[in-house]
Chain A
Amino acid sequence: MNEILFSNQVIIYLLSESLLFVLLFIAFVVSIKIVIKWDFDSFSQKQFRLEKEAYLVSTITIFLFIIKFILLIYFVFTIDSLSILIAGAMCGAGVVTANEYGTYLLLFKLIIIATLILWFYLNSYDTHTKNYLHMKKKSLLFIAIFISIIFELFLDFQYFTNIDTHQPVSCCSTLFGQLEGANPLPFGLTIPLLLTLFYLLYFLTILTLKTNYRVLYIVSNLLFLYLAYYAVVYFFGTYIYQLPTHKCPFCMLQSDYFYIGYIIWGSLFLGTFIGISDALSSIWTTRKYIKNSRLVISMLTLFVVLSSIYVIIYYFRNGVWL
């Protein structure tokens, strides 16, 4: 018998995901109808009904977004609390890598949140046009979200039913730390080079946002996200834990570090997702400007300041770098 499936949080998590799926299915059927039959200029009975049903889709998606967001945090929390049940795991890192599905599941979740934010921007542009110009694009995007949620649900069940509680997993320091001299950083970077790129990309991102070079912004922000992940795991994280050998993206989510990880990762991912969705949707709907550049800038700045401040405080307290 699988002990993991009896964990309260896992039961509640799986139930919520499955129930949401039922609701999504309704919205999916309507979206398909919209993609095929939508014609705003028509005065037929069908078109009127479709316009009404479109409201159902947007209501469901807004609800979906709120719950998915809560469930993502809940999922991370659950994974963290499972670490006590699995031999060898000391934080979420070990639990996620307990089988081959975990990492993909986490990635899928992040991608789904990102596309949902993109949908939101499209929706807000759409409702501002008098004749629902972007209804078909929106519905296509929704169908894409639905398909990825099917995969996610499949991964959810595969992941939680296939965790073996008796087989020991690796803890975070073996996953991220001891690589026997191999360089874990991408492009053969070193830590100083990584940090230089990190801050440079941050300024480039803000600069492109301010000057409205949207394509350049998207590229630089994506690169920033990619490097920021490595910078946090291999540099800033060590200052949060105050231990040069502790390299882990998950431990900072625990109460020992005052749940700071939720704010750090949250501001990074939300800032990036909102910014990129904003830019993409404004390009897609042929608009001139990005809507919420200030929000994006403040989120990314919060992320950079928060991670840097740990380093600075450590230096002032101890007088040395790690």
Chain B
Amino acid sequence: MNRAFWYFLSLQLFKERSKHLTIIVISILLIFILSSVLFISSSIRFSLEQTLKPQPDFVISRLQGGVNRSTPIEWSDELFDIYGVTKVTPRVYGRYFFRPKGKSFLIMGIDAFEEESHKSLEKLIDSIDIKAFLTGNNMIVGEGVKEYLQKNFYNNSYKFLTPKGKFIDIKIAKIVPKETRLLSNDMIIMPIDLAREVLGYTQDEVTDIAFNVPNPDEWSNIEDKLLSLHYDLGVVDKNEVKKSYETLYNYKSGFFLIIFLILIMTFSLILYQRYNMVYSTEKREIGLLRALGWSINDVLRLKFMESFILIVTSYIIGIFIAYIFVYIYNAPLLKNIFLGGQNLQNSVSFIPIIDIATLSSIFLLYAVPFIIAVIVPVWRVSVTNPKEAML
């Protein structure tokens, strides 16, 4: 392949540009849809991993008939006795249903004596006086909660109705910053005793107990020890949570891909038909080239380079458009498939993640059917006899 070959190839492409244009446009569209979906799913997976990283390794709670019940707080003292367990945190949280519209908030209690939870909270919101926050009737709310409350004319505070029928007035002290929206959108953080009251727990009950085990080799061992403590104890570890998220998003994008397969099959059938047609009109030209001394291999190379350039061009343009669509314009419409807007409206901005796995997946899914569709038409035109073509 010398310079003359490339020059000829570019001339050829330019001359026949109207023939290739439709194919390039369809290809770009296909790649754009495909890569937008894959970009969104990999970006969400990345944000989930980031939010899961600081989460506790284990969570235990009391199970009754397979359903979570309020957990006695004494269990956390028993945990301290197990060697290798750190950062034991009893947690109080639950859903508070906002009656009129059937929406719900996630309420999280923060313990005044737990250094750990303070630190993470302080990291989350730097400009807040923790002590003042924990002593009064205050709460920190997520972005979605704030919007929802404002819409219902609760600008500064909200009156919670406890299961006992009492009203508690709680002030909004702060709004959680945007970066953690995926998880904190419908979240309300308040002092633990207040949370107990709102959710209807007694003083010596918590929702569950979280703790860390720094040595991952000990995880299964610790799990066995926990299960022997009480008969009604249930354990969930972080890997299980991670796995179920992974499965969920795999399921969503996998389902899309399976439907996309039909599309790509149709596309390659169209390609096959079209190239058969296009090349049959080029027979004379190829015959001329062969008569001028080109070998079959030369013609094959020319035609393959031609389709390869088409593939690469539309691949790059398609990915580029998808990048802009997803990461700069935040994928309007398409993101609802992934983020389900059932409860409070969530508006996440996607963190740009482009990894080799996604890029190579897109390339394989598009390039392999493309080349397979054109290989036979290309061969058919390349072996044209010069004499036959000229007649």
Q: Which A residues fall within an 8 A CB radius of B? A: 3, 5-9, 11-13, 15-16, 19-20, 22-23, 26, 52, 55-56, 59-60, 63, 67, 70-71, 74, 77, 81, 84-85
Contacts and interface: CB of A to CB of B under 8 A. Distances in A.
Given A8-B253, A19-B369, 20 more contacts: A6-B251, A7-B250, A9-B357, A11-B254, A12-B365, A15-B365, A15-B368, A16-B364, A19-B372, A23-B372, A26-B376, A55-B296, A56-B375, A59-B300, A59-B379, A70-B360, A81-B357, A85-B243, A85-B246, A85-B247
B52 to A, nearest CB: 12
A25 B254 CA distance: 28
Given A12-B365, A19-B368, A55-B300, A60 B375 contact: yes
A11 B258 CA distance: 8
Nearest to A27: B375
Contacts of B41: 8
A52 B364 contact: no
A77 B356 CA distance: 10
A9 B361 contact: yes
Nearest to B252: A6
Contacts of A15: 261, 365, 368
A22 B246 contact: no
B255 interface: yes
A231 to B, nearest CB: 27
Which of B254, B296, B365, B371: most chain A Cβ within 10 A? B254
Contact of B372 (A6, A12, A22): A22
Q: Which 5 A-B pairs have the closest CB atoms?
A: A6-B254, A52-B383, A56-B379, A16-B368, A6-B250
A172 B99 CA distance: 53
Nearest to A80: B357
B174 interface: no
B242 interface: yes
Interface in B352-376: 356-357, 360-361, 364-365, 368-369, 371-372, 375-376
A192 B250 CA distance: 47
B364 A74 contact: yes
Given A55-B382, A59-B300, A84-B246, A11 B257 contact: yes
Contact of A55 (B258, B261, B364, B383): B383
Contact of A12 (B243, B257, B300, B375): B257
Nearest to B253: A8
Contact of B364 (A3, A26, A60, A70): A70
Contacts of B379: 55-56, 59
Contact of A6 (B255, B364, B371): B255
B38 interface: yes
A7 B243 CA distance: 12
A55 B290 CA distance: 15
A84 B52 CA distance: 14
Contact of B250 (A3, A16, A52): A3
6 contacts: A11-B261, A12-B361, A15-B368, A20-B368, A23-B372, A56-B376
A19 B265 CA distance: 10
Nearest to A10: B254
Contact of A59 (B38, B253, B369, B375): B375
Interface in B154-210: none
A23 B368 CA distance: 11
Contacts of B246: 84-85
Contact of A63 (B297, B361, B371, B382): B371
A5 B254 contact: yes
B378 to A, nearest CB: 8
Interface string B332-369: 00000000000000000000000011001100110011
A35 B233 CA distance: 70
Contacts of B250: 3, 6-8, 85
Contacts of B296: 52, 55
Nearest to B255: A6
Given A3-B247, A55-B296, A56-B376, A77 B357 contact: yes
